[in-house]
Structure 1
């Protein structure tokens, strides 16, 4: 691949070169489309856009579960020159409709079951709504005079007329876009409760895709299980955009990935690369590995030199097999990995690495292959694509805000110059809001969010995430949030009811158990990080669609 290729040229060449190879498999139906069939689907959509008057730069909204149809709409839109607006299916209908209106989308592609909760009259700029489930028209604006409905009925006839000799690989040629044109308008659902439209350009996507290709994260004929939400930048880039640029076979997992369903799918697909979020690894560690290695007999056995290595080798082999057995590495991203889990995985030499990114970089900022990965880090700033700096008098030792600049950095927030100016300075540095340090070779070590940092009475910086990571490994703790109340640290804890049932612990006994946990926790933290008390909460913390706790709701 030549680095002079534009994003659309990369895809045109990939689709032609991999014409007969499998491209997309729907896990639920086992139906597979080759690159030829996917390219034909994209060409049909291009013709439909043309017939219905979609112009370059028009916004096309897309909301639904991961599916081959979802991927086809996304790829057809960016290779046509329109802007795709992927909306997470977890957004409530009011928020989703607000995003569709704010983005000025003129078409909406949506799953039938999601559409049932929408009110078409509240989206006045949308000319038509098309089903992702069966491709039929679901609604059309009265002023459009059923144009989309008519053209959809004529689509097959007009497609055959355009490609009289049949659609072939020679017909795959996409227009070259301006690097600064907006390819994706991705609405974040930040923990501040305010959704902003991140303008990701063709250059931003190109930076992520070319890095993935050169790093051989995916390669021709490799296998990938796409289970993270494709509407989110992380899954979008590395479970879809990079695989389709290399000739990878993507199996699309449309269900909500519970660990059991996911492990079954991984054993069937046997992917060559696994992209995942910390929650999955942490659940396996806490539910399966931790009970095994904390038994008294096992602790005694592991103290014998030599036996520990053999035992860890067995665990490593079982874990590798659980994830399909044929992957080069697992890339963990989207949130920090619990340090205890990370240290254990490193000890058993499990092939994992932790990357760092954000939607505003589409998403990648730093990554290191697992063999060079430094435990506790979030990888090295992407060489040749991104620069990083720490706003601190001593960037290697004193945490400061992480700032990044380069090819992957967004154009700004859509129709929001104030929010853009707040994070993008005049020199093009993106102020991430994350606090950390940076080694000389540009490896990043994240401490926590700037907004969540607590200043202790003696001037020490406290990062609640670090205390929470320790607390979340304690028995009977499902998840936690450390907040400041009256100048003291309080840990809000949502109990692990499943573990309570398993050990026969009642709700009446739980407070006493939490007192013991508090004592253990305070032995593990610095004196200025000691938690004053644990407060139990009855219900799970409210979260954003990407499963981050909405911290602002609990700071009062």
Structure 2
């Protein structure tokens, strides 16, 4: 791979155009793809049109849209001309969108036609319809950018969708982003002409860096769905594209395992017995894994998982099945990848070692466990939070290490093991460290559990549990011969089941970590776009 002239998105696009000109770059699953030369031409033309609108280097230009090929064109058009892109998550409310645009000082926005009603409160904006670029001045020739961006120039301000409900504008430079692209690419081991089906929102750093820029840096093609990825949409798309790569959050593969694999393996007594014998379990998982690989089209060699921890039983299945999963750890503030491993080097329950160029350390480790806050420094660590010097200062140590807010350990081989968020940690009755994420993993291993959340109330641990209602109704039908859909009856049955579940779960936990009450959560949890439960909402409700 030819070295980049500089760690800028301008240099990255130029190298890919030169190396992969005639390869497909981006497209819809059911449509035509733009080749790399066509993509670069569309980017330059759009940059020139933005200049005609008066956009200059350093100006903020927002994007509010579902995933589509034109999202990539707009992102690169803004950043390669030296302006600053402000991606906005499609799930943000109208008021959140308005606040972000005002805080960022954006005067131009690319927006899909479907999401433009969210701009009703944002007066004075120049709106460009991303579906067809209507609103951009027509250009007969692509003008050169005012000046090629420099590595330390600001490239993006990304407003987080965190589970704390407190969105911050993360400032990422060209060097932050492109250094992470270069460090992440070897993990995927992609070849020119390979493909990726994109599922996660491009407005999130994980998908933008690893799911767009990394494939584009290696000559792969990124395919987008033109509808939400329901099974009826996704399955035909996978059959059509037969992707070599995919990115996902844990929930996606966990649903496949629990709904397609585990239900089959628990359907007969002989299979349940075999699952308790390790060598037989491996054989059963391997057979099931072959079916799962075929479901993805049969060519998958990299299935990247990030955003949260994978449930232990699901990871064990993937290891037994030789499913090509890869794990990464990072944050929006680190563009995003700090640690990661490819499919051939995964370590059970670990996110892998630090990626190239990144240093990690455990601050003030507990003498008995080695656990402490993971801190990082490297070329991918953000400049700071936009217009928020106080929170920026709080996020760095005196010697300029970034405080991730995650608790974990690092073993002798450099592998990172994340225990949970520092803010989520609960102190036990005698000062023990209790990580709710670990308790949630135990509960979620139960086939009937869809999602759960462990919180503290009045000094006691409480679990909110969202059951898989279809599976639960089947269970009740087997046990009772039928079940009413009437809400109160269903809640009563759920409470009875949860008392049994509480006994099973607590039998696996240390005395100080046992959960005093299981509460049925009949409605699905509210989540971020990366499928993390908005913990702060339920903490507030539980305290009322």
Secondary structure at the counterpart of residue 116 of structure 1: helix
Aligned match of 1:13 in 5, 15, 27? 15
Residues 13, 40 of structure 2: 8 Å contact kept: no
Residues 12 and 174, structure 1, Cα contact 8 Å, conserved in 2: no
| Partner-residue secondary structure (3-state), 1:524 | coil
Secondary structure of the corresponding residue to residue 525 of structure 1? coil
Where does residue 194 of structure 1 map in the other structure? Answer: 166
Do residues 414 (structure 1) and 394 (structure 2) align?
A: no
Q: Mean Cα displacement is larger for which, 37-46 or 215-224?
A: 215-224
- SS of the residue 2:44 aligns to: helix
Distance 1:395 1:401, change over 3 A: farther
**1:543 to partner: Cα distance:** 2.1
- Which segment drifts farther, 348-357 or 445-454? 348-357
Q: How does 1:131-142 map to 2 (within 5 A)?
A: 131-137=129-135
Counterparts of residues 83-232 of structure 1 (less than 5 Å):
83-119=84-120, 122-124=122-124, 126=125, 128-137=126-135, 152=137, 155-156=138-139, 158-159=140-141, 175-232=147-204
1:212–1:218: 8 Å Cα contact kept in structure 2?
A: no
**Deviation at 1:24?**
1.5
- Tell me the equivalent position of 1:282: 254
Tell me what 2:487 maps to: none
Shift of 1:288: 1.2
- The residue aligned with 1:142 is none
Task: Give the equivalent residue in structure 1 for 2:504.
Answer: 520
Contact 1:338 1:469 in 2 (8 A): yes
Question: Could you tell me which of 353, 366, 378 is aligned with 2:351?
Answer: 378
Distance 2:123 2:416 in 1: 43
Residue 355 of structure 1 aligns to a residue whose secondary structure is: strand
How has the CA–CA distance of structure 1 residues 455 and 59 changed in structure 2, closer, same or farther, with 3 Å as cutoff?
Answer: same
Q: CA deviation at 1:213?
A: 3.5
| 8 Å contact from structure 1 (residues 97, 123) kept in 2 | no
CA apart distance, 1:309 = 4.5
Alignment of 1:273-422 (within 5 A): 273-294=245-266, 295-302=268-275, 307-383=280-356, 385-393=357-365, 397-422=369-394
Is 2:249–2:530's contact at 8 Å kept on the other side of the alignment?
no
State the 1:521 CA deviation: 0.6
User: Alpha-carbon deviation of 1:313?
Assistant: 2.5
2: CA distance, partners of 1:427 / 1:500 = 53
* Conservation of the 8 A alpha-carbon contact between 1:454 and 1:484: yes
Q: Return the offset for 1:394.
A: 5.1
SS at match of 2:341: coil
Cα distance in 2 for partners of 1:180, 1:104 equals: 20
**Contact between 1:79 and 1:174, CA under 8 Å: does it hold in 2?**
no
- Secondary structure (helix, strand or coil) at the match of 1:509 reads helix
Determine the C-alpha separation between the residues in 2 that align with 1:98 and 1:303. 54
Q: CA RMSD in A?
A: 2.1
Q: Report Cα offsets for 1:323-356 as digits up to 9, x if no partner.
A: 2221222111011111121122222322212110
Q: How many residues align?
A: 525
Report the Cα distance in structure 2 between the residues aligned to 1:72 and 1:395, rounded to whole angstroms. Answer: 51
Deviation at 1:305, TM superposition (A): 8.2
Q: Taking structure 1 as reference, are residues 330 and 419 closer, same or farther at Cα in structure 2, changes over 3 Å only?
A: same
How far off its partner does 1:81 sit?
Answer: 0.7
Q: Which moved more, 1:443-452 or 1:536-545?
A: 536-545
Question: Where does residue 209 of structure 2 map in the other structure?
Answer: 237
Measured in 1, the distance between the counterparts of 2:153 and 2:520 equals: 49
- Aligned residue for 2:119, secondary structure, equals coil
Task: Determine which of 459, 483, 489 is the counterpart of 1:487.
Answer: 459
Residues 248-267 of structure 1 aligned to structure 2 (within 5 Å): 248-267=220-239
* Larger deviation, residues 301-310 vs 252-261: 301-310
CA distance in 1, matches of 2:153, 2:236: 41
Deviations 1:209-235 (A, max 9, x none): 112334454332111111211110000
| Equivalent position to 2:241, from 252, 269, 273 | 269
1:175-234 C-alpha deviation (Å, 9 max, x unpaired): 532222111111002122111000010111111111233445433211111121111000
User: Deviation per CA, 1:250-290, whole angstroms, max 9, x where unpaired?
Assistant: 11124322345323322221222221110110001111111
Q: 1:58 to 1:74 in 2, by over 3 A?
A: same
Normalising by the residue count of structure 1, what TM-score does the alignment of the two structures yield? 0.90
The superposition leaves residues 465-515 of structure 1 with CA deviations (integer Å, 9 ceiling, x where unpaired) of: 111111122243221111111211111112221212333355132221111
1:76 alignment partner, SS class: helix
Aligned equivalents of 1:293, 1:23: Cα separation in 2:
40
Unaligned segments of structure 1, at least 5 residues? 138-147, 164-170
Retained in 2: the 8 A contact 1:396–1:438? no
Task: Work out which of the residue numbers 526, 529, 539 in structure 1 matches 2:523.
Answer: 539
Check whether the contact 1:267–1:323 (CA below 8 A) recurs between aligned residues.
yes
CA distance in 1, matches of 2:355, 2:274: 42
Q: CA deviation at 1:70?
A: 1.1
Q: 1:297 to 1:179 in 2, by over 3 A?
A: same
Give 1:238 deviation, angstroms: 1.4
Do 1:65 and 1:255's aligned partners in 2 also have CA atoms closer than 8 Å?
Answer: no
> How many angstroms apart in 2 are the aligned matches of 1:437 and 1:353?
19
When residues 349 and 241 of structure 1 are mapped into structure 2, their CA distance, relative to the original with a 3 A threshold, is same
Closer, same or farther in 2 for the Cα pair 1:308/1:269, shift >3 Å?
same
Q: Distance in 2 between matches of 1:136 and 1:305?
A: 60
